Structure 1
Amino acid sequence: MNNKILIVEDELLIALDMQGTLEKLGFEVIIDVTSVEQAILYIEEHQPMLVLIDINLNKNKDGTHLGQYLLQKDTMPYIYITSYADKSTLDQVNATRPNGYIVKPFKDDDLKATVSVVLNNYYHKKIDALRNNENENDPVPLRIRKVVDYINNHLDKKIEIHELATLTEWKMDHFIRLFSKYLKTTPYQYILSRKINKAKSLLEDTVVPINEIVFELGFESNSNFYQAFKKITNDTPENYRRKQQLKSTN
């Protein structure tokens, strides 16, 4: 999955603090964009998975101008960051319908929780939109839905991209292009993210040995699983399980 998060914040210390927090979760965080104009250029070229926007940018245009642009674009979620929570600010913010809102100062856990909830809700909103589209004259959402359901029902298997393309009756490059268009991630990255999410649940909620989790999720080897888990979570399976166990005992 595209794991880029764009932070549009002109206070460097705040941006660096957020960058450090989110990078620990495995995201690639960009903080050198400090104006609405720069942000739009970056978004058009790189299509980040999430945008965090400071409302007061001390520029010609404040953060809500970027929010209005993202509202019209409707291709990624965005969260406002501000020191203000008065009615006037909230009215201004609500007019652009953000996916989230964080008031400064905030704790690292608040940032982590907000980002996690926003990304999860946005992803499921996209999936629900596909599932609710029953227009037989529009085969793209129906075929993509079929592929998504197949992946989620076969996480214990090694899933080949050509198998998924066959399900849609499209050529490989056409399938990858349309899948990426609708889900904002490649088929391979989607499969990997779903498998790692399942692995995280097993590590949190069970005592199943890690080598059995590797087998259960259809990874070719322990090293492949460890590499994928580290890439997405920025942690090892052992450390992740240990941290979750400590949380549950506190």
Structure 2
Amino acid sequence: MSLKIIVVEDNFIIQMFLEEVAQNMGHEVLVSTDNGEDLLGLLDTMVSDVILLDIGITGKHSGIEIAEILNVKYKVPFVFVTGNSDHSTIKRAKDSSPLHIIHKPIDEEQLEEELETIEHKLSASKHLEKHR
């Protein structure tokens, strides 16, 4: 299953790493941005299968705040990518119903495994929707 992915990550090196690994696995990275406001503007004209969303992005909204908007307005599955490990942030992140959470630091092999898990979760949810 090839995914159409949007990457929201404010660290340029990590952004490029996410893009490269996803593309090498046959996924299409539609666009990358470093802040949530740009993402919200893009979603009015672009459809993706999943958004890789850093919790600690730049801009006036955190990744968790953007996720809450995604849940209400866009209904697009998102995956948090985070180096944050404090309990309250992770709990708040989980409460926003991400499809998955990827913890940094991450190497190429781990990211490939995480993307495969995301593929399976998306495939299973699409299968469930068809049978409702």
| TM norm. shorter chain > 0.5 | yes
Letter in 2 for 1:89: T
Q: Secondary structure at the match of 2:98?
A: coil
Q: Name the CA distance, whole Å, in 2 between partners of 1:105 and 1:2.
A: 25
Match of 1:129 in 2: 129
- Paired with 1:117 and 1:33, the residues of 2 have a C-alpha distance of 23
The separation in 1 between residues aligned to 2:28 and 2:125, in whole angstroms, is: 23
Aligned match of 1:11: 11
Aligned-pair CA distance for 1:24: 0.4
> Is the 2:34–2:58 contact (alpha carbons within 8 Å) kept by the matching residues of 1?
no
* Contact kept in structure 2, 1:82 and 1:104, CA below 8 Å: yes
Q: How many Å separate the matches in 2 of 1:2 and 1:112?
A: 13
Structure 1 residue 31, shift from structure 2 partner: 4.9
User: Per residue, is there more helix in 1 or in 2?
Assistant: 1
| Structure ID, larger Rg | 1
SS of equivalent to 1:41: helix
The CA distance in 1 between the partners of 2:26 and 2:2, in whole Å, is: 11
Tell me how far 1:119 sits from its aligned partner: 2.4
> Which residue number in structure 2 is paired with residue 69 of structure 1?
69
Distance 2:99 2:4 in 1: 17
Aligned to 1:57: 57
Question: How far, CA to CA, are the matches of 2:4 and 2:79 in structure 1?
Answer: 14
Match of 2:76, SS state, is coil
**Contact map agreement 1:4 1:30 (CA 8 A) in 2:** yes
Distance 1:109 1:31 in 2: 23
Q: Displacement, 1:90?
A: 1.0
Q: What is the SS of the residue equivalent to 1:46?
A: coil
User: C-alpha root-mean-square deviation of aligned residues, in Å?
Assistant: 1.9
User: What is the rounded CA distance, in whole Å, between the counterparts of 2:47 and 2:12 in structure 1?
Assistant: 23
Instruction: Extract unaligned runs of 5+ from structure 1.
Output: 134-250
Question: Following superposition of structure 1 onto structure 2, how do residues 12-51 of structure 1 map, counting pairs within 5 Å?
Answer: 12-51=12-51
- Count matched residues: 132
- 2:116 — aligned with what? 116
Provide, for residues 122-181 of structure 1, a one-character-per-residue CA deviation record: whole Å limited to 9, x for no partner: 2222222332x3xxxxxxxxxxxxxxxxxxxxxxxxxxxxxxxxxxxxxxxxxxxxxxxx
Give CA-to-partner distance per residue, 1:216-246, whole Å, 9 cap, x none: xxxxxxxxxxxxxxxxxxxxxxxxxxxxxxx
TM-score by length of 1: 0.49
SS at 2:18 equivalent? helix
More contact order relative to length (CA 8 Å, sep ≥ 6):
2
Letter in 1 for 2:119: L
Residue 59 of structure 1 and its aligned partner are, at CA, apart by 1.8
